[in-house]
Amino acid sequence: MLKDLIARKSLYQINQQAQEDSLKRHLDLTNIVLLGIGAIIGAGIFVLTGTAAALHAGPAISISFIISAFGCLLAGLCYAEFASMLPVSGSAYTYGYATLGEFVAWIIGWDLILEYLFGSATVAVGWSGYVISFLNDFGIHLPATICQSPFAYGPDGWYQTGAIINFPAVFIIALMTTLLVIGIKESARFNNIIVIVKVGVILLFVGFGISYIDVENWKPFLPENTGKFSEFGWTGVLTGAAVVFFAYIGFDAVSTTAQEAVNPQRDLPKGILLSLAVCTLLYVTVSLVMTGIVKYTELNVPAPIAVAIDATGKGLAWLSPFIKIGAIAGLSSVVMVLLLGQSRVFYSMAHDGLLWKSFAKTHPKYKTPYLTSIVTGLFAALFAGFLPIGLLGELVSIGTLLAFVIVCLGLIVLRKKEPDAPRAFRTPWVPFVPVLGALICLAQMAALPKDTWIRLIGWMLIGFVIYFSYGRKHSRVRMENHNHRTE
């Protein structure tokens, strides 16, 4: 049994899978970079920046973004080498299968399902809030009973809100799922337009907002610690980095598109690193401008950029509706790319026999994994329509950090086991880079609440039941290894 659990998928088996599968290759480097930007820029820049500044780091939130980006960069360098060697869907799941064996691969795959499924539902709820606010500006008021979760969770436990369903959140997931079923080319084209819109809006805010900066709002740039670990000072900056880590979630989804990329060995590493670089630059500049216009203590609100615009008086009032349009557009593309990543991981796991075979089917016309896209959309819509955003968002960061840790450690293993395998991209300074990347991600995991760890363990236990009752018995690698031993 132990041999089955640590059975690795060879590089030959993985590359053979890439030749067997019927997904269409449509994505060039531009599409891949824009998919990365589309996944990253969303709730983080439009929501979390203000909260983290007000509660943890003050104007030094810009340093928090750099620290968090550094951790993502180290993991991204490891992702880039894997992506250049293993041009198949599945992202960290496939990388784990090639290095640490089937059981660890299952843990990563199930973990990625947690990240993408709950991440897309979380962002959809945020999208709903911006759409409702935007419609209110034009005198269109949707009934509260169809715009909120019917359940909420507080200190005293669960309670009912009186609402029926969060319909706008369900609607955006249904729309993005339909796009993904129709085809990756159409989905990428939609994402490209959305990214241009939201980056344009962000650049407008930075470009016009600079002239409204009051340097007094940056004093002190690093507020003195209050005596509590996470409240300002350098510990606050570190906590802020863990909080805004959610803002970078999504760049790893780029690697799930490997089988739909025209030249994955060349373009995926570039796409991962370029999208990270662009988004980090935007995050740092936006946080500096925002905290320069408004005192950081006033930014603990759902729409901090809008607060900054309002603080300029009539000067930037014309920009307010464009910011909301940018936020709506930005969150739309994040939902789409997270659903894309989820369905591709599902597809890869089903192809390997660890999940039901029907999930590995592709549409006869569109050549997309339509069943996995539909099932993913249904569950994401269910969670977004009926659960509160706070509970949904708690699990996303810890799931992503765990995947990053395993990818970093897996790279060290792969260098030892496959030292001569061709690599279009080589991570520099191994093992220093992957070890430091794993340590930074583990440190951020340790900073998360105990309840988040408990829910992660519960999710993993559900996964273990599925793996040992179905996946292990139907594993393609296990069957191929067994047939090889009996020959």
218, 60 contact by CB (below 8 A): no
HEC string of 301-336 equals: CCCHHHHHHHCCCCCCHHHHHHHHHHHHHHHHHHHH
HEC string of 245-298 equals: HHHHCCHHHHHHHHHHECCHHHHHHHHHHHHHHHHHHHHHHHHHHHHHHCCHHH
Q: What is the pLDDT of residue 465?
A: 94
Q: What is the pLDDT of residue 230?
A: 74
Q: What is the pLDDT of residue 435?
A: 95
Average the pLDDT over 105-115 and give the result: 86
Q: What is the pLDDT of residue 434?
A: 94
Name the token pair of 251.
């760049």
What is the enclosing helix (H) or strand (E) of 59?
none
Q: What is the pLDDT of residues 220-266, one digit of tens each?
A: 999 988 888 778 888 888 888 877 777 787 777 677 666 677 777 77
Rounded percentage of the chain residues whose pLDDT exceeds 70: 85
Q: What is the pLDDT of residue 315?
A: 79
Q: What is the pLDDT of residues 262-292, one digit of tens each?
A: 777 778 788 888 888 888 999 999 999 999 9
Q: What is the pLDDT of residues 155-201, one digit of tens each?
A: 566 667 777 888 999 999 999 998 888 876 677 777 788 888 888 88
Task: Tell me the average pLDDT of the chain.
Answer: 81
Q: In whole angstroms, what is the distance from residue 298 CA to residue 275 CA?
A: 30
pLDDT above 70 for 146:
yes
- Lowest mean pLDDT, pick from 33-47, 206-220, 222-236, 323-337: 33-47
Q: In whole angstroms, what is the distance from residue 236 CA to residue 238 CA?
A: 5
Q: What is the pLDDT of residue 292?
A: 93
Residue closest to 466 by CA, chosen among 350, 355, 361:
355
- Lowest mean pLDDT, pick from 168-172, 316-320, 480-484: 480-484
CB-based contacts of 1, cutoff 8 Å, min separation 6 = none
Q: In whole angstroms, what is the distance from residue 26 CA to residue 244 CA?
A: 32
pLDDT band at 6 (very low <50, low <70, confident <90, very high): low
Q: What is the pLDDT of residues 198-211, one digit of tens each?
A: 888 889 989 999 99
pLDDT band at 412 (very low <50, low <70, confident <90, very high): very high
Select the highest-mean-pLDDT range: 126-140, 374-388, 469-483.
374-388
Average the pLDDT over 381-386 and give the result: 88
The model's pTM? 0.79
Q: What is the pLDDT of residues 421-438, one digit of tens each?
A: 788 788 899 899 999 999
pLDDT band at 1 (very low <50, low <70, confident <90, very high): low
112, 293 contact by CB (below 8 A): no
Q: What is the pLDDT of residue 83?
A: 78
The domain made up of 2-486 is a member of CATH 1.20.1740.10: yes
Rounded percentage of the chain residues whose pLDDT exceeds 90: 13
pLDDT above 90 for 462:
yes
Name the token pair of 415.
């260098």
Q: In whole angstroms, what is the distance from residue 9 CA to residue 106 CA?
A: 12
pLDDT band at 19 (very low <50, low <70, confident <90, very high): low
Name the token pair of 135.
């419609």
pLDDT above 60 for 416:
yes
